[in-house]
Amino acid sequence: MEEKRLRIAIQKSGRLSEKSLEIIRSCGIDFNSDSRVLREVASNFPLEFLFVRDDDIPTYVADNVADIGIVGRNELDESGYDLNVVRDLGFASCRLSIAVPGEFEYTGLKCLEGKRIATSYPRILSSVLERNGVSASLVTVAGSVEITPAVGIADCICDLVSTGTTLKMNGLKEVEEIYWTSAVMISRHGFESDGERYGILKRLLLRMDTVNNAKKKKYVLFNLPADRIDEAAAIVGGMKSPTVTPLLDRSWVSVQSVVAEDRFWSVFEDLRVLGAEGILVMPIEKMSD
């Protein structure tokens, strides 16, 4: 019988591609990514890749062509499909913004009443306009939204912005952020009932979470006067309690613990005050709960 594989849809070529593959690779899954054929099978994990345009990813997942996909939340919401967000992957974050030509006097969403707004995201934009009681006429274009005011087919635009450089280059100014997005992993509702494939997804998620956990933590090792252990334990916290090893000089101990990256500098300073010496900080490659 053919081995069941989890099918994942990934953007073939674009802003999401490299990061998406990097996440899979960081889970120890090997595949040949040079050829970028439409289909690819991992060599050491039951995973099959479909490389497609990002706009099509929600459709593939909804239609059961793929089991999961990595796509911008913007494309998911714009597709209108009711799918499950399995994980927010945090990369490719940007915003949908209203941008207007230099001479346009923007005073708020209300001033867009009756205006022509060009966008690739008519569904998201119209829901925002509707919520704000604004009725405008939307001009849907697939790309190069930023040139539409200059060529006279729109008064302003609503487009994805990350740094704003593209807008400036086209003589537009960003005046209102209306929606925020980043890459998400999606699946169908009810996918849990596919025992075998869902089981593979759970294995993949466990690996992803393990790698992700590790990224947010540091492994800390230091020497400490033995009579300060309790205070040090209170400072570092750690998964259970820190590991304490006696040194040859019995008045000192060596302490090992795991510290959240965002707490690291305050922990470091407190430990120094306590008399810790030789503080070593190391990255953690993988960490389970």
Query: Whose Cβ is closer to Zn ion: residue 38's or residue 280's?
Result: 38
What are 141's two structure tokens? 């274009």
Binding site for ligand ATP (CB under 6 A): 11, 14-16, 53-55, 72, 74-75, 92, 94, 160, 162, 181
| Contact status, residue 81 vs residue 40, Cβ threshold 8 Å | no
160 binds, among ligand ATP, Zn ion, none (CB under 5 to 8 A by kind): ligand ATP
Q: Does 55 bind Zn ion (CB under 5 A)?
A: yes
Name the segment binding Zn ion (CB under 5 A); options: 55-63, 85-93, 169-177, 199-207: 55-63
Write out the DSSP string of 94-155: EEEEEEEETT----SGGGGTT-EEEES-HHHHHHHHHHTT---EEEE-SS-GGGTTTTTS-S
C-beta nearest to ligand ATP: residue: 72
* Burial zone of 99 (CB within 10 Å; 0-12 exposed, 13-18 middle, 19+ buried): buried
Of how many residues is the chain composed? 289
Question: CA nearest 258: which of 241, 277, 275?
Answer: 241
Name the segment binding Zn ion (CB under 5 A); options: 49-57, 127-135, 141-149, 267-275: 49-57
Query: Whose Cβ is closer to Zn ion: residue 55's or residue 270's?
Result: 55
Instruction: Establish how many alpha carbons lie within 13 A of residue 239's alpha carbon, considering only the half-sphere containing its beta carbon.
Output: 13
Q: Does 54 bind Zn ion (CB under 5 A)?
A: yes
11 binds, among Zn ion, ligand ATP, none (CB under 5 to 8 A by kind): ligand ATP
92 binds, among Zn ion, ligand ATP, none (CB under 5 to 8 A by kind): ligand ATP
What are 5's two structure tokens? 């594989």
The span from the CA of 99 to the CA of 125, in Å, is 13
Query: Whose Cβ is closer to ligand ATP: residue 181's or residue 187's?
Result: 181
Query: Whose Cβ is closer to ligand ATP: residue 18's or residue 269's?
Result: 18
Query: Whose Cβ is closer to ligand ATP: residue 145's or residue 208's?
Result: 145
Contact residues for Zn ion, defined by CB under 5 A: 54-55
